[in-house]
Amino acid sequence: MNAKSDIAIDVHGLTKSFGSRVVVRDLSMQVKKGTIYGFLGPNGSGKTTTIRMITGLLTPDKGEGTCLGYNIRTQADEIKLHVGYMTQRFSLYQDLSVRENLEFVARLHLMKDPVKAARDMIARLGLKGREEQLAGELSGGWKQRLALGACTLPSPQLLLLDEPTAGVDPKARREFWDEIHTLAAEGLTVLVSTHYMDEAERCHEIAYIAYGELLTHGTVEEVIRQAGLTTYDVSGPDVNALLHDLQNKQGIDMVAPFGNSLHVSGRDAAALEAAIRPYRERPDLTWKHSEPSLEDVFIDLMSRARDNFQ
């Protein structure tokens, strides 16, 4: 990649079809170097296809772009040499130790001193004392650390994370994200696919894709602001019944339960006010104006997205 460039990914108009179904449609995105970029969307939305096109693993039907300064159509082999990929499912050798797995990865990448490389990574990720433990005997959190160590051992310029903390406890998730932010501060670009809203909020920027189309992107604050939602939090003795009453009313675009209350949102503030006015007069209900959450925004986006299977 050109040292003067601060752009790691720059793609425009990516389109890909399988048979008669358009899986990704006219998608453009730009990711700065050293950015943690959250890639969100429901299963089957086209996230994996997009990532494969960006990294040169799949040729787009239409569109152009670069990844790490290399053309995604003509320089796919060069891109692959600089990308690390951490799968959702643990993919290292279960019957090798932590040390053996890391040394094996170092040798695959022809590193000059595999033993030292593995030892340094063990120290960095807090795996000391577990060097000789079999990978298959590690807990989910420790497996996650080992997998991260293996995919960053050859010092990639771009790291792809596919649902990296699925099934991992909150403490291990936080420690994982602390390390990801450290790596990004050192210049590594991270593209992470996740369904967790709290993880999306840890990203520098996010993009939301549904049914092959990029619906929104930017910082979390920008995405929430662009949604233009007016939101109320309402609580009372029977919010479940209230949820059914409010659903599908004109002026109310989204109703979702949050604990013992409901989030009620609308894109037209005046229409929303008119819809909820009769309910605001009820003494058993408490209404409070609130800021829409990222989850509110995504639920609203999904409700408006067009299913490309239909």
Look up residue 74 and give its two tokens: 């003509």
Residue 306 lies in a domain: no
Direct distance between the N- and C-terminal alpha carbons of the chain, in angstroms, rounded to an integer? 41
| Segment 113-129, tens digit of pLDDT | 999 999 999 999 888 99
- Do residues 48 and 111 share a domain? yes
Edge-to-edge strands of the sheet including 7-18? Answer: 21-32, 7-18, 62-67, 70-71
- Residue 309 is predicted with a pLDDT of 47
- Do residues 150 and 258 share a domain? no
CATH number for 261:
3.30.70.330
- Do residues 130 and 254 share a domain? no
| Segment 145-155, tens digit of pLDDT | 999 999 999 99
Alpha-carbon 54 to chain mean position? 15
- Pairing label, strands 213-218, 62-67: unpaired
Q: How far apart are CA 299 and CA 279, in angstroms?
A: 23
Residue 308 lies in a domain: no
Q: How confident is the model at residue 87 (pLDDT cuts 50, 70, 90)?
A: confident
Q: Under a CB-based contact definition with an 8 Å cutoff, are residues 285 and 241 in contact? A: no
- Do residues 134 and 253 share a domain? no
Residue 235 lies in a domain: yes
Residue 161 lies in a domain: yes
Tally of CB atoms within 10 A around 218: 14
Helix axes 114-124, 98-108, angle to 10 degrees: 130
- Residue 81 is predicted with a pLDDT of 92
- Distance set, CA 105 to CA 163, 174, 202 (Å): 22, 26, 29
Range with the poorest average pLDDT among 80-89, 145-154, 300-309: 300-309
- Do residues 204 and 92 share a domain? yes
Look up residue 204 and give its two tokens: 């520098």
Summary mean pLDDT of the chain: 90
Residue 48 lies in a domain: yes
By percentage, how much of the chain surpasses pLDDT 90?
67
Q: Is the pLDDT of residue 3 over 50?
A: no
Q: How confident is the model at residue 261 (pLDDT cuts 50, 70, 90)?
A: very high
Number of domains within the chain: 2
- Residue 42 is predicted with a pLDDT of 82
Q: Under a CB-based contact definition with an 8 Å cutoff, are residues 54 and 28 in contact? A: no
- Do residues 97 and 178 share a domain? yes
Residue 183 lies in a domain: yes
Sign of CA dihedral 135, 136, 137, 139: positive
Residue 129 lies in a domain: yes
Q: How far apart are CA 12 and CA 217, in angstroms?
A: 14
CATH number for 21:
3.40.50.300
- Residue 45 is predicted with a pLDDT of 84
Q: Is the pLDDT of residue 84 over 60?
A: yes
- Do residues 197 and 233 share a domain? no
Q: How far apart are CA 288 and CA 240, in angstroms?
A: 18
User: What is the domain extent for residue 182?
Assistant: 7-223
DSSP 136: G
Phi, psi (rounded to 5 degrees) for 72: -70, -20
| Segment 194-237, tens digit of pLDDT | 888 888 999 999 999 988 899 999 999 999 999 999 999 999 98
| Segment 8-57, tens digit of pLDDT | 999 999 999 999 899 999 999 999 999 999 988 887 888 889 999 999 99
- Do residues 50 and 158 share a domain? yes
- Do residues 247 and 214 share a domain? no
DSSP 165: T
Residues 6+ apart with CB under 8 A from 306: 211, 213
- Do residues 171 and 262 share a domain? no
- Residue 2 is predicted with a pLDDT of 46
Residue 302 lies in a domain: no
Q: Is the pLDDT of residue 249 over 60?
A: yes
Q: Is the pLDDT of residue 305 over 70?
A: no
Q: Is the pLDDT of residue 310 over 70?
A: no
| Segment 148-190, tens digit of pLDDT | 999 999 999 999 998 887 777 888 888 889 999 999 999 999 9
- Do residues 173 and 256 share a domain? no
- Do residues 138 and 284 share a domain? no
Q: Is the pLDDT of residue 93 over 60?
A: yes
Q: How confident is the model at residue 306 (pLDDT cuts 50, 70, 90)?
A: low
